[in-house]
Amino acid sequence: MKVEDILKHAYAMPLTNPSYPPGPYRFFDREYIIITYRTSREALEAVVPAPLEIDEPLVKYEFIRMPDSTGFGDYTETGQVIPVTYRGQKGGYVHSMYLDDDAPITGGREIWGFPKKLASPKIVNEGEVIVGTLHYGSVLCATGTMGYKHKPVDQGPLLSALSEPNFLIKIVPHVDATPRICELVRYYLTDITIKEAWTSPAALDLRPHVMADVARLPVLEVVSAVHFTADLTLGLGEVVHDYLAERR
């Protein structure tokens, strides 16, 4: 293969058979359970990177069912998003993500820098309760339970929250295992259509695991919970801070 052919086709790895197609990516009937809880400020300060700033010591634990997404297929995801501000702009810092499909793991890490790991999250309905779980191998690491569709939610504030930016750290190592890329990335969800949204009482249990450390941000109090479905587009990102530039 000639050099010009390599540069023409070099979109993602592997070179001749990439793990995912180019984005952006559209999601249909995306189902969320988001349980917002209070944690310790000290725990948050140990994981939230500067120049992001913490307001209240809150965490959003999310279970997300994605039955139909362009390029990525059918999968389920769970993880933690921390409300933050960046230069006065409110948003969320994506701290952890666990999912069960290769393409969005690979694409998410390579394009944006999503902190994705392979695991087994699930959302199921059990009578009057909707249940979200996270298993890492055979070990149960997270359980979220929520009453099924108790009270409709005002969709205006929910749409505003979904439209806020999200931030994450993209890290790509060099061939000598030193950081080659270390950047703060911002991205948005766009073209959002909320189909239904509900709130109910909820409970959340997080358990320690060496490779799925969701319990590192302990649950002190459940503040609120929302269950909703939406169509939306996962937009591509932009670099807002280059950590390695400070060393150059």
What is d(CA 213, CA 76) in angstroms, rounded to the nearest whole number?
18
What is d(CA 110, CA 107) in angstroms, rounded to the nearest whole number?
5
User: Is 122 annotated in the active site?
Assistant: no
Helix (H) or strand (E) holding 139: strand 139-147
Residues 6+ apart with CB under 8 A from 35: 60, 61, 144, 146, 202, 204, 222, 224, 225
What is d(CA 119, CA 99) in angstroms, rounded to the nearest whole number?
5
Which of 109, 28, 96 lies closest to 62 in space, CA to CA? 96
Task: Find the catalytic residue in 2, 8, 116, 151.
Answer: 116
Contact predicate 141/122, CB 8 Å: no
Task: Give the residue numbers marked as catalytic.
Answer: 116
